[in-house]
Amino acid sequence: MKRLLVYTLALFLAVSCATVDDTATVSVTGSATVMMEPDFLRFSVTASALSPTTDEAGTIASGMINEAILILKENGVADDDISTSRISVSPEYSWKDGESILTGQRCVYSLDIILRTVDTAGALFQSVSGIDGIEIGNIVADKENKDVERMKARSLAVHDAHDKASVYANAAGYVLGDLISISDSSPSSSYGTTRLYAMAEASAPLSDSLEYYPGDISISDEVHVVYSLSR
């Protein structure tokens, strides 16, 4: 009798678990992207000089960087928005007749810049690029405060998840039920930008020939949700 009672209890528990586990659900991921205009740019300015000695290479590169800094400050870039990111000196070689020959010492000096007036970027790039041996690169547009756009992206992602779940439920012959769980999928938000350099008509002065179009940037979000389904 005792053994029969144990078997009956085990059977009851198995049926109960099966009932819970067999509850129909739908699991989806909702996503959304919100566009916005950037209000600052990040970019790098790099000077590179090759000379017979380290001192000469360093002097030339430093002179180029100091000239670039002067132009940056004249165009409204604050001291706090200029930082040194790299200083390196190394020997440079060339190959001749299968033999490595020392050609000089290469000095590279790089700055990271934040420009908070996006509409002046074209004129600034034009001026800085006028320095021989200077390279401008790693240009990225961004926005200082993205809280509003971030919240909007999250809200739209939840709505997208609900819409997807409804479509799947109806297609499968079910009715969308209660929300069981919701979790942040933690995607990598993107702040991409489309950049374009354009030359003005040939008769225009060189100082007016370079234009910069940062385009819109975006922020994305994803959310993972689970809904119950009913007939």
Q: Which domain CATH number covers 44?
A: 3.30.70.2970
- State pLDDT tens for residues 125-134: 999 989 998 9
CA–CA separation, 30 vs 26, rounded Å? 13
* Domain's final residue, options 109, 142, 175: 142
| pLDDT tens by residue, 50-82 | 999 999 999 999 999 999 999 999 999 999 999
Q: What's the average model confidence in pLDDT over 101-109?
A: 93
* Euclidean distance between CA atoms 83 and 63, whole angstroms: 16
Distance between CA atoms of residues 217 and 219, nearest Å: 7
Q: What is the DSSP letter of 113?
A: E
Digit-coded pLDDT (tens) for 175-221: 999 999 999 876 555 555 444 343 333 333 444 557 777 788 999 99
Where in 4-39 does DSSP place strands (E)?
A: 25-36
The model's pTM is 0.72
Domain that holds residue 183: 23-37+146-230
CB 229 within 8 A of CB 175: yes
> For the domain that residue 155 is a member of, what is the CATH number?
3.30.110.170
Number of domains composing the chain: 2
Token couple for 145: 């405060």
